[in-house]
Chains A and B, each alone.
Chain A
Amino acid sequence: MSKLGAVIEAAEKHEKFVHDQVKRARTDQKFGREMTERWSKIKAGIPVARAPTGLPLPRLALPEIDEAGEIARYLFGDGLPGEFPYLNGAYREMYLEPLHEIEMGDYGNRKSPDGSNGDSKRNGAKGNGTKPRVEPQEEPTRLFSGLMLAEDTNKRFHFLSAHQRSKRLSTAFDGPTLYGIDSDADGVMGKIGEGGVAVDTVEDMVRLYDGFDVGAPNFSASMTISGPAPIIMAMYIAAAKRRFGAGVVPNLRGTIQADIFKEVQAQNETIFPTEASLRFLCDMIEWTTTHMPRWYPVSISGYHIGEAGSTPVQQAAYTLSNGFAYAEMLAARGVPVDQFGPRLSFFLDCGLDVEYIALSRVSRKIWAIGMRDVFGASPRGQMFKLHTQTSGRSLIAAEFKNNLTRTAAELMLAYMNGTNSCHSNSADEPFTTPSEEWIRLAAHGQAILLEESGIFKHTMNMLSGSPGMKAVERAVEKAILDEFREIESLGGVLAAVENRYQRSQIQNAAHRYEQQIYDGTRPIVGLTRYRDPNEEPPKIELARTPRKRQELQVNRLKKFRQKHAGKAEKALDKLATVVERGENTFPALLEAVEVCSLGQITERLQELVGRFRPMV
């Protein structure tokens, strides 16, 4: 049995545990009294939030229950926000506005000034838990961008983050970079700087984050790249060292996607055989979790699984099981769970299907149970730290301005699920890398929801736990566990991947989705319903990399290679020795990126471990 089998058992056990606690609260008077007393104490500790109209509201909304069994069901089965199993949120306050003064309400006896769940933290920030924080919080908005050459993306980063307190840069790379290919490789002209930024060398990486203090507490970078992730990670570190010295390394904060499983299952941007990729990945995780304690070295991603056409349940099930498989591998390498557990983060898609009402809530619960009961993680390692992106697949070229509404609805769902951060897509994405006009609207969509509207800023649990949401939770949880059972019966995640199980399932779902669009089961406004027969092709400003810019990238790369011609071979030979010996490859990569381009390193590694063989 793989650890996934143990997770299934743990989930079943937890279900039974909750059931038993409910029964006990109803039959064991002492325990029942404990439950009702704890409940009163929690309610008494909830401060008042004032809407701008003056309306008083509890800062935490709880179900209107007073019976011991139901209280037990809520506290053990769902958990308060920030408490196991984290169904209602990984943290206690999430998007709430900071309180400037504490006003206690009439929600119970006035005993404690802050509620009894005092040790949980809000939104990842370090608080002492005794007083609500008053300083401005980090915004959850992230905007993914990357275009043309490093300095062009750098300019976009400065544009996007100009008005943000925290600088959160989310980086998209171009096709050649995602495949570990240099910009001067045969046949990639035309692809350079398209759909993301071109990075060939550490010098590009220096230009990319120029003007940002990458070691500052309010800075974090995320990099969406998986196949060559360890090489790009090494370049990021090397570039930071060039700018700020070696002392900056422990302060580096951010995320690199580096999720190989979802590449093999869905996104197809992988360059080495799976086992070799996993080794390089684990080498990197081991190194960064030791030397860069604030870095997230893998973002376990369902987004691309969803975008490839999976059902929401498949997305969650494959993502979670991939996560457990990484945990299993790292544990097997002897990395302590409290070292890697808190550094695993997640990335999910949010579309318009009804499952999305509760998909991330359930995912958070299953992850917490598995990490606590199977891997022995402490609370920080149980929390499912989630980045969400609205669905690109759901955006439609026909009457594309409707995409604003689609994205807005998806954003609402994402925040109802308590995502820790979120990217909202631009309406022009069916056509191009977003232009500044539409990107601004996408970013403002989040601000309108979180800052203008009162939906999320006054009260935690504002929309949690409706009967409908509960019904979706139950159905989704059962379906995810059934998917786990299927994967386990195939021998676990890696064996299922090799038998292309997840791929086939995703492809079947994608095919069904398309058929449903054309048979009317899935109406698409502006396309299959209410279509404007006179619609003209839209006038969209396209972000395309001019030929001259592409050539500039190639010239820079060639100069870099000339400059380091002698040293490059030596560094690659050293890397090769480490690979052959089975040692951790990451330190050798850190040296190699100083003098080698991405493509040089990829090629040498492929000679040693082979190339990825695509699955159809």
Chain B
Amino acid sequence: MAANPLESVGRETTDLLEYVGGVALLGGESARLIARLRIRVAETFNQAYLLGVQSWSIVLLTSLFTGMVISLESAVQAVHYGFGSLVGSAVAFGSFRELGPMLSAVVVAGRAGAAIAAELGSMVITEQIEALEALGLSPVRMLVVPRLVAMLLMLPVLTIMADIVSILGGAWLASQVAHIDYDTFFTSIRQGVTLSDMLLGLLKTFAFAIIIVLIGSYQGLRTRLGAAGVGISTTGSVVISIILIFITNFLLSYILFGGSVGGG
């Protein structure tokens, strides 16, 4: 017998609310533990290395080529219309405000977010999470909080590095394809971009860090159905995180830059 469409809509709504509620509870419990400084420092540094330091090469590589492609697209057109002196600010503006934070977050969600979901999911199916509870230990304090604090520390750092590499790549490409010299390029940045553009962009990374860790952790902790379930959790973590990063990026851009046309 086919399921009643209303019943199906109702069930999916309930599932969605349950998911949102679960993530919110996980976030609330993590925030409570962080506020009470119940942070395992050594494990946090370990996670900062695993989630952050080990992601730097992939983040920088994607940023380098993104900066170069923005430069490629804008430099030729800008020179053609006589605005070659604005290419530097265009690349820096896009990198600081949007592409640096968002691309870093997307890449980290794909690498570190998936790793969190897979690791915690494996711990669920091998009863390690239940073992923590049986020992009277909180899985949130032991596993989620160190990852969250590590990500809050490392994602802004990765984003600053991504911004720098993106601009350097853009400057090099502009000099090669449009013969815009470095002095013109960087003068354009100094004149067209403010420190607040970079800082507000960095502000976004805290929201992205929270999304990546909470979604990855929640997906991992709700893993069922053995090894297949770990795969489902991991894929779900990446997909949901990336969608939320894009939505959050739009909302934050609207709130932070909505009334601003940018430029100094």
- Verify that A and B bind, or say they do not: no
* A interface, CB within 8 angstroms of B: none
* B interface, CB within 8 angstroms of A: none
